[in-house]
Amino acid sequence: MMLYSYFIPISLYVSIEVVKVLQSSFINQDIHMYYEETDKPAHARTSNLNEELGQVDTILSDKTGTLTCNSMEFVKCSVAGTAYGRGITEVEKAMARRKGSPLPNEMVDDEENVKDSDVKKSLVKGFNFDDERIMNGNWVHEPNSDVIQKFLRLLAICHTAIPEEDEDTAKISYEAESPDEAAFVIAAKELGFEFYKRTQTSVSLHELDTVSGKKVESVMFERLAKDRREFEEETREHVNEYADAGLRTLILAYRELDEEEYKDFDEKLREAKNAVNAERDELIDEVTETIEKDLILLGATAVEDKLQNGVPECIDKLAQAGIKIWVLTGDKMETAINIGFACSLLRQGMKQIIINLETPEIKALEKAGEKEAIAKASKESVLSQISEGKNQLTESSAGSEAFALIIDGKSLVYALEADMKNIFLELAVGCASVICCRSSPKQKALVTRLVKEGTKKTTLAIGDGANDVGMLQEADIGVGISGVEGMQAVMSSDIAIAQFRFLERLLLVHGHWCYRRISSMICYFFYKNVTFGITIFLYEAYASFSAQSAYNDWFLTLYNVFFTSLPVIALGVFDQDVSARYCLKFPLLYQEGVQNVLFSWRRILGWMFNGLCSAIIIFFFCIMALDPEAFNKNGKVAGLEILGATMYTCVVWVVNCQMALAVSYFTLIQHLFIWGGIVLWYIFLLAYGAMSSYYSTNAYQVFIECLAPAPTFWVVTIFVVISALIPYFSYSAIQIRFFPMYHGMIQWIRFEGHSEDPEYCNMVRQRSIRPTTVGFTARIAARNHRGRDRIHNHRTILQSHNAMSLYRGGRN
């Protein structure tokens, strides 16, 4: 059994580990994934997932700081029912372009005014607000100046920012937990309420005898006092307008406390913070819930977070590669939808399946405060909407319509319950894109787990903040963006990049290469071990299973160490079936990894069968050629030492030449390892044979005295190598001619010089495994499709008209 241990590729594990480490170093050194502004290169924090980068089926992405820059700018606000702030956002521009309508004159004028004012004053990072009604102290002349004062005061004090004073310039800068808070503090400063100091006693100042809060409107409106909602309708309207413009919104409200109420609250909060059990966070939430009620509305803020460079193009490429993209965000639905349009995740003509709990019945129950009735009605409503969405998918299954699923956080609570999550997943998987709005960190993690376990396919999560950590840990691959929200996401990730657009190269180039290299490496490893092991088995059968090995002990030991291992490592590190340029030009090539066509049982067994054929050819040709031959002048026939050395020489030649045929991209190192392995065998045979027979045993002087002088040895070696490679060569020729794989088609048009010919490139793209329904490429395709339909309908009308004319003419 020891002789047949070569059928088990034990050294494969070591080789794969070496290859993966080297692959990771190439990812780290890729200059195309280096972000100069922050001096951040890509960083593979583990090498265990390289091949999975080429098999990603679904990407689950955060929005803020991932798709967007996470560089917040305070641009608008609503105070006491009055909207303040001028200008136009990037999303509004994209919306106008999408609808084909010009920008309103007033918006253009406002934008020009903002640009003019920006030229006059130095821009402040985080503050892009322009409205003379409340700037430069003019707010005191406004009708509700007392409300504006409380609004700006709340911005200045309700945060966790820490002021830092520059000793040279005496200017104050702020370190905040999130860019939103930094934008609020800077806005308060620019509008006349400067926060300059924080101490342990600052929370007990007389100016702080109120409880203030900033939360999303879906939570804050529920906590307002029933008799203090005078600006609610106007504020809701402004918040919806801000959301339509792609802005992040927060509601600001406060409540006055007496001294005893504050002391009681402070004592309970301190006890909750000092708790050491696992329920500490829940205790803090319970205490704050008791105080954050009956609030008095002040207004709302709107901050802009622009898309990162290259995000629409990256999403388009990933969609062309057949990768499904889900966005999990804490923003409200309108904001997420508009960002989806801006980054090409959504497009016109795409049917939107929207699931929310904004029905009149549920709103009435919420006002009545009947929690059990609300939960029951909400669950039924979500189930009904999911079922209706599935019916729409079923009805249009034969058509080419694309669907987008958009669901809010409240609905997601019920959709993720055990009895409903499977039908929710069926609906989501059938849609081209999915957006989950108002999602909590826990919901992000649960959705990621549902997709991973439900689809049984590779998932990738990408995010930049602490609230994305659960999602990154649940996914098969976690990608952290080293942004401005700290390093929590990066420290919890498998790979760190600086910009979302680098995901395109990480997956389509490095992912495809790593998957193909490791797949080919494993298949080749089985091939060379089967070839070697079968020759041992055939000789054992030839020798009546005498347990006498055909090869010298050192030949057996060094086969997987020196003569055949280095070419495999070179294959796993350097081989490229298609260059990086063509990986990006033909993104559908990525589907070879998603569908696992390069590492199927059929492919592995095919390589093993190739090894069987090679072994049979090597053994029987050597036996038939050497059995009757004399190998020296005295007429000595070939013995075991001559047969074994000849067979071993043929094996080394065949497996290394097979490697040369399988390699698509040669480097100097690959040439050195492949041909060097063969040369190293001859050097070893000379050196080992020159040693004393005590050490070299039956290999003593076998090459010098027996093999080298015999023409038969050289003829047999050449003939066996050619014959053993014919099966693979024939299979490859037939496959590329009649059953080409996608990478083979790309290689062929490149070889023929048609890589820049649009007609040939479009012909290759027509081999799409699935139609592209997301991205601006899909938008153009849909527009062309509509144009063809109009032309077809016009022709049909003309043909009908001509037929009627002929019919009437015939009757006349």
Phi, psi of 163 (to 5 degrees): -80, 140
Task: Give CA–CA dist 660/670, Å, rounded.
Answer: 9
CA atoms within 13 A on the CB side of 76: 26
Q: Above 60 in pLDDT, residue 489? A: yes
Please tell me the predicted confidence (pLDDT) of residue 768.
47
pTM over 0.75: yes
Q: Above 60 in pLDDT, residue 769? A: no
Mean of all residue pLDDT scores within the chain: 82
Helix (H) or strand (E) holding 39: none
The reply to whether 516 sits in an annotated binding site is no
The reply to whether 467 sits in an annotated binding site is yes
Give, as one character, the DSSP assignment of residue 577: S
In the numeric block, which tokens belong to residue 502?
């680098």
The reply to whether 248 sits in an annotated binding site is yes
Phi, psi of 198 (to 5 degrees): -135, 130
Tell me which of 793 and 518 has the higher pLDDT.
518
Please tell me the predicted confidence (pLDDT) of residue 382.
92
Closest CA to 387 of 420, 360, 361: 420
Please tell me the predicted confidence (pLDDT) of residue 798.
45
Query: Do 322 and 591 contact (CB within 8 A), yes or no?
Result: yes
Q: Which residues pair with 84 in a beta bridge?
A: 77
CA atoms within 13 A on the CB side of 220: 25
pLDDT tens digits, residue range 115-145?
444 443 446 788 888 888 988 888 888 988 8
Q: Above 60 in pLDDT, residue 331? A: yes
DSSP string for residues in 219-230: HHGGGB-TT--T
Tokens 């699931």 -> residue = 355
Please tell me the predicted confidence (pLDDT) of residue 505.
96
Task: Give CA–CA dist 358/377, Å, rounded.
Answer: 12
Q: How far is CA 188 from CA 145, 159, 175, 215, 702, in A?
A: 15, 12, 15, 17, 90
Task: Find the mean pLDDT for residues 185-194.
Answer: 86
Q: What percent of the chain has pLDDT over 90?
A: 37
Helices (H) and strands (E) in the chain, counts: 32, 16
Lateral strand order in the sheet of 351-355: 43-44, 495-497, 477-481, 458-463, 56-61, 324-328, 433-436, 403-407, 351-355
Q: Above 60 in pLDDT, residue 210? A: no
Burial status of residue 236 (CB atoms within 10 A of its CB: 0-12, 13-18, 19 or more): middle
Q: Above 90 in pLDDT, residue 751? A: no
- Quick one: pLDDT band at residue 105, thresholds 50, 70, 90? very low
pLDDT tens digits, residue range 548-570?
888 988 998 899 888 998 999 99
SS3 78: strand
SS3 content of the chain, % helix, strand, coil (to 5): 60, 10, 30
Residue from 62, 316, 408, 575 carrying the catalytic annotation? 62
Task: Find the mean pLDDT for residues 496-524.
Answer: 95
In the numeric block, which tokens belong to residue 614?
């090679």
Task: Give CA–CA dist 462/500, Å, rounded.
Answer: 8
Phi, psi of 404 (to 5 degrees): -125, 130
Q: Above 60 in pLDDT, residue 251? A: yes
Q: Above 90 in pLDDT, residue 453? A: yes
pLDDT tens digits, residue range 623-676?
988 876 655 556 666 778 888 899 999 999 999 999 999 999 999 999 999 999
Please tell me the predicted confidence (pLDDT) of residue 812.
47
Top-ranked range on mean pLDDT: pick from 26-30, 35-39, 196-200, 229-233: 26-30
Helix (H) or strand (E) holding 761: helix 758-765
The reply to whether 227 sits in an annotated binding site is no
Report the greatest alpha carbon distance in the chain: 121
Give, as one character, the DSSP assignment of residue 40: B
pLDDT tens digits, residue range 253-277?
888 888 888 888 888 888 888 877 7
The reply to whether 329 sits in an annotated binding site is yes
Terminal-residue alpha carbon distance, the chain: 97
Catalytic residue list contains 62 = yes
The reply to whether 232 sits in an annotated binding site is no
> Which stretch of 32-46, 272-286, 769-783 has the lowest confidence by average pLDDT?
769-783
Q: Above 60 in pLDDT, residue 436? A: yes
Please tell me the predicted confidence (pLDDT) of residue 153.
87
143's CB contacts (< 8 A; 6+ apart) are 80
Bridging pattern class, strands 73-79 and 172-175:
unpaired
Task: Give CA–CA dist 460/52, Å, rounded.
Answer: 9
The reply to whether 63 sits in an annotated binding site is yes
The reply to whether 808 sits in an annotated binding site is no
